[in-house]
């Protein structure tokens, strides 16, 4: 029961991240439209040109930070986290005109982030993977994972995997991998003898 609740909370948190990224996307669209709509007013404004440019630049960089944040929430990875921090630091240094000491600290922070991305990231595998419920149809699996699977569109993914593994006279158990050329299907979770979750591993 405890394990089930933990998995349920984890799954809900994933959906909440997607919902939050969707809300941010809508907000960023309105923010971008507002920026474009205000450009004519900026052009005829009597405000000092330097101040006007800083205003536009600040809003544009804020928009860029928001876009990177959406990427981080929708597809979290060490790379997207670093990119968000880089954009945020860049905006802080360019727009807010910090004191010389703070500016120097910002440069050091940017250099550290670049060093982390360049030397400390260990890429275990260049492939990308996505988890899909075993009850999903092949049609939905193709749409979600962007892969091509030969089989009836309405056939469930777990039935397809079970059939293929049986054809190859292999055991149907957690960890079993079905290699389909440019991608593979791996049984990630089973319950009561049924495949409940499948990992689609792409770009092999």
pLDDT digits (tens, 9 = 90+) for 47-98: 566 777 777 888 888 888 888 888 888 777 677 788 888 888 888 888 777 7
CB contact at 8 A, 176 and 186: yes
User: Which has the closest alpha carbon to 145: 105, 182, 98?
Assistant: 182
- Joined together, the tokens standing for residue 68 give 């990177």
The structure's pTM equals 0.53
DSSP 48-77: -HHHHHHHHHHHHHHHHHHHHHHHHHHS--
> How far apart, in whole angstroms, are the C-alpha atoms of residue 114 and residue 179?
36
Q: Are 28 and 82 contained in the same domain?
A: yes
CA atoms within 13 A on the CB side of 139: 4
Q: Are 93 and 145 contained in the same domain?
A: no
- Residue-level pLDDT at 121: 59
- Residue-level pLDDT at 43: 66
> How far apart, in whole angstroms, are the C-alpha atoms of residue 32 and residue 80?
21
Tell me: the pLDDT tens digits for 112-171? 988 887 776 545 444 577 889 999 999 888 888 888 888 888 999 999 999 999 998 998
Last residue of a domain, one of 120, 138, 156: 120
User: Which has the closest alpha carbon to 132: 121, 117, 142?
Assistant: 142
Q: Are 186 and 110 contained in the same domain?
A: no
Q: Are 59 and 133 contained in the same domain?
A: no
Q: Are 94 and 14 contained in the same domain?
A: yes
Q: Are 14 and 66 contained in the same domain?
A: yes
List the CATH number of the domain containing 193: 3.30.465.10
> How far apart, in whole angstroms, are the C-alpha atoms of residue 120 and residue 199?
27
Tell me: the pLDDT tens digits for 155-167? 999 999 999 999 9
CA atoms within 13 A on the CB side of 79: 7
Q: Are 73 and 134 contained in the same domain?
A: no
Quote the number of domains for the chain: 2
CB contact at 8 A, 116 and 131: no
Q: Are 7 and 42 contained in the same domain?
A: yes
Q: Measure the CA angle with vertex 23, ends 132 and 57; round to 5°.
A: 120
Last residue of a domain, one of 73, 90, 120: 120
- Residue-level pLDDT at 47: 58
- Distance linking the first and last C-alpha atoms of the chain: 36
Last residue of a domain, one of 93, 120, 147: 120
Q: Are 155 and 61 contained in the same domain?
A: no
Domain coverage including residue 36: 2-120
Tell me: the pLDDT tens digits for 31-51? 889 888 877 766 676 656 677
> How far apart, in whole angstroms, are the C-alpha atoms of residue 66 and residue 64?
5
Q: Are 109 and 137 contained in the same domain?
A: no
Q: Are 141 and 186 contained in the same domain?
A: yes
Q: Are 21 and 89 contained in the same domain?
A: yes
- Residue-level pLDDT at 124: 43
């Amino acid at each position: 029961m405890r394990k089930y609740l933990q998995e349920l909370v984890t799954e809900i948190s994933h959906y909440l991240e997607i919902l939050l990224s969707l809300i941010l996307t809508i907000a960023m669209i309105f923010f971008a439209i507002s920026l474009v709509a205000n450009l004519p007013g900026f052009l005829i404004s009597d405000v000092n040109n330097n101040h006007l440019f800083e205003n536009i630049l600040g809003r544009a960089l804020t928009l860029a930070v928001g876009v990177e944040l959406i990427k981080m929430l929708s597809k979290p990875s060490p790379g997207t986290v670093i990119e968000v921090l880089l954009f945020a630091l860049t905006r802080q240094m360019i727009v807010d005109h910090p004191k010389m000491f703070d500016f120097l600290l910002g440069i050091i922070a940017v250099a550290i982030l670049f060093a982390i991305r360049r030397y400390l990231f260990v890429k275990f595998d260049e492939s990308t993977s996505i988890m899909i419920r075993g009850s999903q149809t092949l049609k939905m699996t193709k749409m979600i994972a962007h892969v091509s699977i030969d089989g009836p569109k309405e056939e469930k993914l777990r039935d397809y995997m079970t059939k293929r593994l049986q054809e190859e006279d292999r055991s149907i158990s957690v960890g079993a991998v079905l290699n389909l050329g440019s991608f593979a299907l791996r049984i990630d979770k089973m319950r009561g003898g049924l495949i409940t979750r499948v990992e689609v591993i792409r770009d092999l």
